[in-house]
């Protein structure tokens, strides 16, 4: 039945996955991710941010590299006070 803490097919805990179209996928942990090269990345954190843009230096974990780097105020122009 939806909303129950255990999967009716085997008693495995159900994991919540949150999708953000502008950022990572958030998964309730612990999490294991099977990578393309056959290795497995594991995190025991209670919530894990999984990179979907592949810009992260800590891939498959998100390090917020997808965010735009913008200045709060433009730099002053030369010759103007």
pTM for this structure? 0.62
DSSP 77: P
pLDDT tens string, the chain, 81 residues long: the values are 445 555 555 677 788 899 888 778 999 989 999 999 999 999 999 999 999 888 888 999 998 887 765 555 666 676 655
3-state secondary structure 6-75: ECCCCCCECCCEEECCCCCEEEECCEEEECCCCCEEEECCCEEEECCCCCCCCCCECCCCCCCCCCCCCC
CA dist 21 and 53 (Å) reads 11
């Amino acid at each position: 039945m939806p909303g129950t803490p255990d999967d009716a097919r085997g008693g495995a805990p159900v994991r919540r996955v949150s999708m953000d179209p502008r950022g990572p996928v958030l998964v309730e942990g612990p999490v294991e991710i099977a990578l393309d090269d056959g290795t497995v990345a594991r995190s025991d954190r209670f919530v894990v941010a999984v990179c979907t843009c592949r810009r992260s230096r800590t891939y498959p974990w998100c390090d917020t590299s997808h965010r735009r780097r913008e200045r709060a105020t433009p730099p002053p122009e030369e010759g103007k006070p």
